[in-house]
Amino acid sequence: MQRFILSKKNYITLISAILIIIGFIAELGFKNEVIAVWFLTIASIIGVAPIAIQAYQAIRVKVVSIDVLVTIAVTGAFLIKNLEESAIVTFLFLFGSYLEQRTLNKTRSAIKELTEMAPESALKQMENGEFEEVEVDEVDVGDILFVKTGAKVPVDGTVLTGEGHINEASITGESVPIGKKKGSQVYAGTILENGTIQITADRVGEDTTFGRIIELVEEAQDSKSEAERFIDRFSKYYTPAVLVLSIIVWLFSRDIELAITILVLGCPGALVIGVPVSNVAGIGNGARHGILLKGSEVIHDFSKVDTVVFDKTGTLTIGNPKVADKEIYTDNEDEVLGILASVESESDHPLAKAVVEHIGDTRVYKVEKTDVIKGGGIVAQVDGHGVAVGNVALMEQENVYLSEKARADIACFEENGNSLVLASVDGELNVLMGIRDQIRPGVKEDLQKLKKLGVKNLVLLSGDNQGTVDLVARELGLTEAHGHMLPEDKSAYIQDLQAKGQIVAFVGDGVNDSPSIALAQVGIAMGGGTDVAIETSDIVLMNSDFSRLPHALGLTKTTANNMRQNIVIAVGVVLVLLASVFFSEWMNMSIGMLVHEASILVVILNGMRLLSYKLRY
């Protein structure tokens, strides 16, 4: 019965409104008080029913909720035969709940839109070579899928054949179509606007980029910030305090109507809902713009950040370095380059990939006894030769002699902003390569936006040489830049900043960035980075779009400010209403409930403004 009544709450609200209107028409229009009393009585009884049920459910779990206060107030008004008050208060409370639900549903629409974008089916290649439509849950890694024009890409995958343009707004927030061809990466939930493609499934189900977005955003919605937890604790004691206050007022004044009015006016509805609605709207805006905010606490922390620390490769730079300068210190160039390419093929490091790409087709040697030196490079045995490939520190560690010419070349390469790769065979330096990475387009302007948003310190920490790091720092206008930084050095530096009282955000994309991402007050991962970096981060910039960072900071600052506004509105309204009870003659239950419900709608609508937030500069 309780479930049935609660499920019909909106119909009860409508019936209550009709009964109240008929009652007032009978009393004011036809002077028939008997009919008015009957209709207002019925309106009061059916109106209070769902409220009383919710109050009963709250008391069962030992919580004095707003519904308890309203039920006591309405019952008291009914018993003293103030039927107009009891009927109007129940209607306003029910109608306010209806409007709250409607507006909250709109606030959550950004999250709902995400789940509705999730693909439900896929055209899968069967054993006979034909493509058949199956549920997306039936797709496994390695399956070959066919995507038609206008269809959603069902999984994360790699294009095998075909070409087309894909709208990746669900992933990046940008609706400009991206060209895709053989070898291109595609993401679940994106839409093929023209052409047809066949893809091989790389990630399926919840492991897809889109699946992780939905999961992270849903987790963020359910999390609570420190402000929300405080308000929950506050309400736990505040609501019973209002009940006690009304009893004390009644004991001293013997004015039951005054005591009942205090119950209604003291309801903390706007305070309870103001902060969560701001959080949900802020998280929703971020999701629509390719920014994953992992929880309400992140919003609070990031809004106060005054220092942002960056990794270089893949964060401030594109992460696709190329060999720009080269020196060979041996006559046996072909053999040495073949050995170097064979060793570097063992590594996934961007510099290693640049070396292999530059050398191209060459003789492949068998690499044995590979030893990766953290922050240094690789030491290996190749075709009976001892080989070391890495930075200057590794050469010194391996006792490789560096001639005056070699040291001059190293200094020159560093001045040109190169990252260095040195290769020695049997203890002699044979190759020096200078590798440069391009700075991401628009990064300088984005960093200026961070400064305008209140970030005081922009720091670059990189494992690269100091010359390259300084060059990047000068070009981008960074506050500090430190090279030759191992992962533990970065973590120690962040701890030092925190010890000085700075609130630090770290932005990175690699496995070696994960300790720093986890250690900083706010860890930010580029969406194209490693899974470890993404999992340990607090914020993810999808598609590695650095321009999302200023939007994320501006959004969290605006969201935090919006929360404070809602708290001020909620507390201010309650104080004004309670003061009006004691210092004015016009305040009554109906007016108080009307203002109370209006304040709830005001904080919800104020929070909803965040859905349309855009960075102004």
Catalytic residue numbers, as ranges: 311
DSSP 514-558: HHHHHHSSEEEEETTS-HHHHHH-SEEEGGG-TTHHHHHHHHHHH
Residue 4 — φ and ψ, nearest 5°?
Answer: -65, -45
CB 123 within 8 A of CB 147: yes
Distances (CA, A) of 478 to 460, 483, 523: 7, 14, 19
Amino acid residing at 480: E
Helix or strand (DSSP H, E) at 390? strand 385-390
Q: Closest Cα partner for 507 from 319, 298, 314?
A: 314
Distances (CA, A) of 310 to 463, 476, 485, 513: 12, 12, 12, 10
- What's the rounded Cα separation, in Å, for the pair 118 and 41? 50
Measure CA 322 to chain center: 33
- Residue 438 burial (CB count, 10 A): 11
CB 198 within 8 A of CB 145: yes
User: Residue written as tokens 């981008």?
Assistant: 476
- What's the rounded Cα separation, in Å, for the pair 156 and 199? 9
Distances (CA, A) of 543 to 201, 329, 443, 537, 596: 19, 41, 15, 15, 44
Q: Closest Cα partner for 48 from 80, 15, 89, 8?
A: 89
CB 143 within 8 A of CB 201: yes
- What's the rounded Cα separation, in Å, for the pair 90 and 74? 7
Residue 491 burial by Cβ neighbours in a 10 Å radius (0-12, 13-18, 19+): buried
- Residue 28 burial (CB count, 10 A): 10
3-state DSSP assignment of residue 65:
coil
CA 133, 135, 140, 146 dihedral sign is positive
- What's the rounded Cα separation, in Å, for the pair 493 and 483? 12
Amino acid residing at 501: G
Q: Closest Cα partner for 458 from 446, 441, 442?
A: 446
- What's the rounded Cα separation, in Å, for the pair 360 and 365? 14
3-state DSSP assignment of residue 371:
strand
- What's the rounded Cα separation, in Å, for the pair 378 and 390? 6
